[in-house]
Amino acid sequence: MVDFHSHILPGIDDGSQSVDESIKMLKSSWEQGVRTIVATPHYYASDESVDSFLKRRDRSFDMLQKELENISFDVPNIVLGAEVYFFNSMGHSDDIKKLSIGNTKYILVEMPFSPWTTSTINEIYSIMSKNMIPIIAHIERYFNQEKKSGKIEELMDTDVFIQMNCEYINDIFTRRKALKLIENNIINVIGSDCHNLSNRTPNMGKAISIIENKLGYDMIENIYNTSMYILK
Ligand SMILES: [Fe+2]
State how far the Cα of 62 lies from the Cα of 55, in Å rounded to an integer. 11
State how far the Cα of 224 lies from the Cα of 46, in Å rounded to an integer. 34
CA of 83 to the centre of ligand 1 (A): 6
Give pLDDT, residue 22. 98
CA of 131 to the centre of ligand 1 (A): 24
CA of 96 to the centre of ligand 1 (A): 17
Domain 2-231 matching CATH 3.20.20.140: the answer reads yes
Burial 66-96 (b: 16+ CB within 10 A, else e): eeeeeeeeebbebbbbbbbbbbeebbebeeb
Give pLDDT, residue 182. 98
Closest CA to 134 of 83, 169, 178: 83
Low-confidence residues of the chain: pLDDT under 70: none
CB 195 within 8 A of CB 167: no
CA of 57 to the centre of ligand 1 (A): 15
8-22 residue pLDDT tens: 999 999 999 999 999
CA of 115 to the centre of ligand 1 (A): 19
Closest CA to 25 of 58, 71, 92, 94: 71
CA of 187 to the centre of ligand 1 (A): 17
CA of 154 to the centre of ligand 1 (A): 23
Residue 73 sits at φ, ψ, to 5 deg, of -125, 170
State how far the Cα of 32 lies from the Cα of 212, in Å rounded to an integer. 14
State how far the Cα of 149 lies from the Cα of 230, in Å rounded to an integer. 30
CA of 67 to the centre of ligand 1 (A): 24
**Residues measured by CB to lie within 5 Å of ligand 1, the ion:** 83, 193
CA of 84 to the centre of ligand 1 (A): 9
Distances (CA, A) of 88 to 45, 79, 128: 10, 27, 15
DSSP string, 197-225: SSSS---HHHHHHHHHHHH-HHHHHHHHH
Give pLDDT, residue 157. 87
204-221 residue pLDDT tens: 999 999 999 999 999 999
CA of 12 to the centre of ligand 1 (A): 13
Give pLDDT, residue 121. 95
CA of 42 to the centre of ligand 1 (A): 7
Q: Domain residues of the chain, as ranges?
A: 2-231
E strand or H helix at 27, and its extent?
helix 19-31
Give pLDDT, residue 226. 98
